[in-house]
Amino acid sequence: MSECATTSSPASSSCHMRLKQLTAGAAALLLLFLLPAAAFSDAQQLQTSHNVFGPFDQSYYSKFAVLQPATISNDALQITPDSAGNFTLNNRSGRIFYNHSFTLWEDSSSNSSDSAANGSHVASFNSSFLINIFRPNSSAIPGEGLAFLIAPDMTLPVASHGQYLGLTNATTDGDPNNHLLAVELDTFKQSFDPDDNHMGININSIRSNKTVSLSDLGIQISPSDTRFYMVWIEYGGDSHRLDVYMAEQQKDQQTNGFVIEPRPTSPILTKNNINLKDIVKQQSYFGFAASTGTAIELNCVLKWNLTVELLPGGKGADGKTGLKIGLGVGVGVPAAALMLLGLGGLGYYLYKRRKAAASDENILGALKSLPGTPREFSFKELKKATNNFDERHKLGQGGYGVVYRGVLPKENLEVAVKKFSRDNLQGKDDFLAELTIINRLRHKHLVRLLGWCHKNGMLLIVYEFMPNGSLDNHLFGETETATLGWSQRYKIVTGVASALHYLHNEYDQRVVHRDLKASNIMLDSNFNSRLGDFGLARALDNEKTSYAELEGVPGTMGYIAPECFHTGKATCESDIYGFGAVILEVVCGQRPWTKMGGFQFVVDWVWSLHREGRVLDAVDQRLGNDYVAGEGERLLLLGLACMHPIAGERPKTQTIIQIISGSVPVPRVPPFKPAFVWPSSNMHEGVSSTANTVNTTSSWPLEISVSDTSEWTPPYDSQDSNGGTRRHSDSFSLL
């Protein structure tokens, strides 16, 4: 023991480590004897109840509480009556619940021993469901809507038809004692609604806390024809964040089944600071509610998946509770059994410590071997810089984590700290991929890397802070910012083109960014553009021209080149397509997926204006006449050329720079947008001809290949220590 205390050799360090491990192990063993429940809490947090429902037949009456006039018929949950039968469809409301309750939060005031070990915790859940909201009369106005809900009991409020969507009524609406959380799909405009085709998040009321119109996204909840939509709802118990996604699904006419499209990469609706403990009862039920009024519709749910985290000691779908061992366990249990439990818990604890240590050594080794070895920040330093990662310092959030603003006091330097939040293995892969690439890049139009930090499994990257935020905020932000002038916009496009040319041609390896969009373009104090967020970027090996992942094609709707949905590969040409979308964003002041002039995407609208000889009508109206017409036409035509459906027809970055500078003319843009042609073996060398198997019918960015109709929802996304959601495949951007 004295040798360990006095020797400074490497063996000393090892001896200290062993001593610490033995001490920790002994403490853990003592804790196991005194409070065995604590040893099992970590394992139990990973337990989930995963339920797959549908197609629905009469056997589901034993699993569900079907509150009339709701029924189960035609292989679907009919939340309001279907069209069969001699009854009216007007002014009806119904509910259908899964008839098992779930424990959705821990009561920290009860069972103090557990609370001490585990603290208060809120359950995470995922749900996905396939719906068809059908108009019996295609020419009539539909109404009123359908909602996914969490409720304290399996009852239906009286007089909850019409605007109340089966959730509340005139007496109870807005009452916190309702203990309701709902996601509504509303098809009838009331005085408090934004329109007659929107999604909303509702708490104890039919007046939504947050809404989004679906018309601009090309989604019609209850169209005049038959359409099917998948809705994904994801809630993080630690992050208190609710994300909702939605995408149209195609029916296989041959099999009469569905080939379920993957979940889109970006949520349609997000609401932060939703703490279930403040809203719903501890024991609550999941289900659906719907209503009709003077206008009618059929509210059908065809499939439903529900995954709920089982809290330690909480009740799951089978009604069983988690393992609980109190202080008095030794009274009635033989000492040998108690010892066995203790040794098992100790073994699990040491295994987790050993596994984490090995992982830490691997990632530290990889970081230390990076060329130039970027600066390693201490966690304490970054924690202080961001005021303990204060929510008020948050700059952005996405699937990979959260970005915070911070100030390094010693240097008096503002920084952006990216805190990764995906699961251990995937999060470290993302972290190393981004750090490895950005560490070697040096260009005045790229966001500069300052350093990194890895502490107790927490991964952080430190970037130069951009005082003017993102281009997206200036074009579309809700804050009162002055409209970007024309000269600023032109300078921004020029800078991004220069950065892209560097990535594709001037660095020693070709780099594909894979996520070019306005929110990933940062602006410094002089409004110079800096391309950022290299979380999806990949360096291509020599002689290779494309990059593919098993997960499929990441990115954001409107920016992904059409060939990517067929080949599953990212190329320099697909980056050019994304750059074209950015050009149109900057010039038009509209997001790529905005419906304009009856067209689904901005690019199609601009192409139609070009055909009619009035392409300058696409220039952002906020600019008035304060722009250079020749430059406006040049950028609009360049944007169309970059978004040519055929990859080989898109200009190279060198040509793009020359076009922007005015030294060469824009290549001829045909008056009609050409049709997409499947990539062939004799295509341009910049595009890979090897196709991966992906579903080609999706108009959304794909992350995974889905062809098996039995696997139609993502697996349970558990919560990590940072409150983020861990997914097997994700491609959200942060900045």
**Residue 472 host element (H or E):** helix 471-476
Residues recognised as catalytic:
515
Residue showing tokens 């019918």: 697
Instruction: Let me know the angle formed at the C-alpha of 286 by 114 and 213, rounded to the nearest 5 degrees.
Output: 120
- Asked whether residue 355 is marked as a ligand-binding residue, the answer is no
505, 571 Cβ separation under 8 angstroms: no
DSSP state of 186: E
Please name the residues in contact with 415: beta carbons below 8 A apart, sequence gap of 6 or more.
385, 405, 406, 407, 408, 450, 462, 463, 464, 465
The residues pairing with 274 across neighbouring beta strands, listed in sequence order, are: none
Number of neighbouring beta carbons within 10 Å of residue 372: 8
546/472 Cα distance (integer angstroms): 28
110/435 Cα distance (integer angstroms): 45
Residue showing tokens 């991929």: 433
What's the residue count for the chain?
735
265/564 Cα distance (integer angstroms): 15
Handedness of CA 35, 36, 42, 47 (dihedral sign): negative
Measured between its terminal Cα atoms, the distance across the chain in Å is 52
679, 563 Cβ separation under 8 angstroms: yes
Residue showing tokens 């929802």: 713
Please name the residues in contact with 484: beta carbons below 8 A apart, sequence gap of 6 or more.
474, 475, 492, 527, 586
Please name the residues in contact with 262: beta carbons below 8 A apart, sequence gap of 6 or more.
552, 695, 698, 700, 702, 703, 704, 705, 706
Beta strands 71-73 and 241-251 are unpaired
DSSP state of 488: H
Strands (E) located in 237-346: 241-251, 258-259, 269-271, 283-291, 298-309
Contacts 24+ apart (CB under 8 A), 184-187: 184/145, 184/146, 184/147, 184/208, 185/131, 185/133, 185/145, 185/146, 185/147, 185/221, 185/231, 186/144, 186/145, 186/221, 187/133, 187/142, 187/143, 187/144, 187/145, 187/221, 187/222, 187/295, 187/297
The residues pairing with 524 across neighbouring beta strands, listed in sequence order, are: none
DSSP three-state, residue 176:
helix
Phi-psi region of 557 (alpha: psi -120 to 50; beta: other; left: phi over 0): beta
Number of neighbouring beta carbons within 10 Å of residue 386: 20
Tokens of 20: 């610490």
Summarize the annotated binding site as residue ranges: 419
Summarize the annotated binding site for ATP as residue ranges: 419
